[in-house]
């Protein structure tokens, strides 16, 4: 298709990756972001082989691999018995297969640096509120004025996007009862496995996690993301009862976290994250495509959100390249991502209550199933395929090659 004028609204992982993919495919892109200085929010996340393949296609894999921490397994332990009730390894997928724990600032820095180096146009301090269509062209509206005309708007504004109403079919967002408070702490090898995302549970109402996330910059210290599962409705009460009381509760469940709690020291260093679940049935509309959390958001229990945003960005670019017209390209994009997105949204919605809910039965069932079946072949490989984001082989649909995970660690 001919070269298009494209607005990319939102400079999160999805928007930044889309700007790079689309400009490299010959389109004129303009990134639009509400913050004056585009910046990442939050602590760490896990890049799966899927997201790493998208970064590899952008030539950014080695840079992010040098900053992140390779994660070979996910381990969950029952706080009362000390028994492992979750163990998923990447190894059944092949030698050297792993995920990468990264600080959000590291992922943002690598993508943003590439966007700046490519000289792409960025409009910051602009809060998108509406879309306007006229004679096959689109404009973005905000209290800061009008931006346009564009042939296509890519909505990468995240789960609260005000543009979702322009999708061909709407979705209803469902806030989840549980969220979490997150903080960043120095990494310690003392009683923590540097190649594992470690979690500790009591039933499904208590979940504590420690994940190595590598470094923010090449010369920075090694870091960890620390999280505590919490109902946003209980956040005010937690703050009122104070850090010291909470700290005692956390340490009672997991004494090894003492050094992380020392480093956090106050609730000021922890951010409340609320989760909501929504999936646009058709992530496209008249002159607009939706990628990342604006198209589908969920709890991060399966650690797929940023990876799916990166895949969406690659898929949209491939669809535009293959399409005869913009409408044809958007249809191809929707088809390319449909089943992978639906499957992972379904899995996240189904599995989250086993780890974050008030149910008494679900964690018991979880522990029985995981301890009895999880080690019997082919279940370990199926679980590895699921957490790595590779069920239904989303890379093949988009034409992405795997990142050389075994070579760079
Ligand atoms: C606590 C937590 C842990 C997570 N862990 C993982 C994990 O381990 N692995 C994983 O893959 N995913 C994880 N996720 C999910 C992941 O963070 C999201 O899926 C991902 O950030 C989505 O990227 P995005 O680019 O679509 O949207 P976002 O990252 O939300 O970016 C949206 C951008 O748009 C800008 N914006 C928003 N509204 C406007 C507006 N009106 N006008 C202009 N600009 C606007 C924002 O400032 C932001 O820059 C986690 C999420 C949370 C909350």
Give 112-142 pLDDT, tens digit per residue. 999 999 999 899 999 999 999 998 999 999 9
> What's the whole-number mean pLDDT along residues 59-87?
94
How far is Cα 292 from Cα 54, in angstroms, rounded to an integer?
13
User: Residue 38 pLDDT > 70, yes or no?
Assistant: no
The helix (run of H) or strand (run of E) holding residue 344 is: helix 326-355
- 324-359 as b/e: b if 16+ CB within 10 A: eebeebbebbbebbeebbeebbebbbebbbbbbbee
Helix (H, G, I), strand (E, B) or coil at 253: helix
How far is Cα 233 from Cα 297, in angstroms, rounded to an integer?
20
> What's the whole-number mean pLDDT along residues 338-354?
96
Asked if 216 and 295 touch (Cβ cutoff 8 Å), the reply is: no
Protein residue with least CA distance to atom 9, ligand 1 = 303
> What's the whole-number mean pLDDT along residues 145-153?
96
Cα of 293 vs centre of ligand 1, distance in Å, is 6
Is any ligand 1 atom within 6 A of the Cβ of residue 209?
Answer: no
Cα of 163 vs centre of ligand 1, distance in Å, is 15
Is any ligand 1 atom within 6 A of the Cβ of residue 273?
Answer: yes
Protein residue with least CA distance to atom 19, ligand 1 = 305
Protein residue with least CA distance to atom 1, ligand 1 = 273
Quote the strand ranges of 49-136, DSSP E.
69-71, 73-78, 84-89, 99-103, 121-123, 130-134
Is any ligand 1 atom within 6 A of the Cβ of residue 304?
Answer: yes
- 173-204 as b/e: b if 16+ CB within 10 A: eeebebbbbbbbbebbeeebebbbbbbbbebb
How many helices (H) does the chain have, and how many strands (E)? 12, 22
- Which of 42, 48, 133, 132 shows the shortest CA–CA distance to 90? 48
Cα of 379 vs centre of ligand 1, distance in Å, is 31
What confidence category does residue 409 fall into, taking pLDDT thresholds of 50, 70 and 90? low
How far is Cα 287 from Cα 289, in angstroms, rounded to an integer?
7
Is any ligand 1 atom within 6 A of the Cβ of residue 34?
Answer: yes
Q: How far from each other are the two terminal CA atoms of the chain, in whole angstroms?
A: 38
User: Residue 39 pLDDT > 80, yes or no?
Assistant: no
């Amino acid at each position: 298709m001919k070269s298009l004028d494209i607005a990319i609204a939102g400079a999160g992982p999805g928007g930044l990756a889309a700007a790079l993919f689309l400009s490299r495919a010959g389109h004129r892109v303009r990134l639009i972001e509400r913050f004056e200085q585009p910046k990442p929010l939050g602590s760490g996340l896990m890049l799966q082989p899927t997201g790493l393949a998208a970064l590899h296609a952008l030539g950014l894999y080695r840079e992010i691999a040098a900053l992140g921490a390779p994660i070979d397994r996910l381990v969950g332990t029952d706080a009362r018995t000390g028994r492992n009730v979750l163990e998923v390894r990447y190894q059944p997928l092949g030698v050297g297969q792993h995920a990468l724990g990264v600080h959000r600032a590291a992922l943002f820095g690598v993508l943003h640096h590439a966007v700046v180096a490519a000289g792409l146009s960025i409009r910051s301090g602009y809060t998108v509120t509406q879309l306007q269509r006229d004679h096959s062209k689109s404009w973005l509206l905000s209290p800061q004025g009008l931006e346009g005309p564009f042939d296509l708007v890519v909505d990468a504004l995240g789960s609260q996007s005000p543009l979702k109403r322009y999708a061909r079919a709407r979705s209803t967002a469902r806030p989840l009862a549980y969220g979490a408070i997150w903080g960043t702490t120095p990494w310690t090898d003392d009683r923590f496995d540097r190649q594992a995302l470690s979690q500790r549970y009591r039933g499904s109402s208590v979940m504590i996690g420690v994940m190595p996330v590598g470094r923010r910059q090449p010369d920075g210290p090694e870091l960890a993301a620390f999280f505590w599962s919490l109902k946003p409705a209980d956040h005010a009460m937690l703050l009122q009862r104070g850090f010291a009381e909470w700290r005692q509760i956390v340490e009672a469940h997991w004494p090894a976290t003492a050094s992380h709690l020392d480093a956090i020291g106050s609730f000021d260093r922890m951010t409340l994250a609320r989760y909501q679940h929504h999936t646009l049935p058709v992530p496209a509309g008249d002159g607009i495509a939706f990628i990342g959390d604006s198209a589908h958001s969920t709890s991060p229990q399966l650690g797929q959100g940023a990876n799916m945003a990166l895949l969406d960005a690659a898929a949209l670019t491939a669809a535009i390249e293959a399409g005869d017209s913009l409408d044809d390209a958007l249809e191809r994009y929707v088809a390319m991502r449909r089943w992978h997105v639906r499957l992972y949204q379904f899995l996240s919605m189904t599995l989250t209550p086993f780890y974050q809910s008030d149910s008494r039965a679900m964690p018991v069932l979880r522990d029985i199933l995981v301890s009895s079946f999880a080690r019997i072949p082919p279940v370990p490989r199926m679980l590895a395929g699921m957490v790595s984001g590779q069920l239904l082989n989303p890379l093949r649909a988009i034409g992405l090659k795997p990142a050389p995970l075994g070579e760079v660690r």
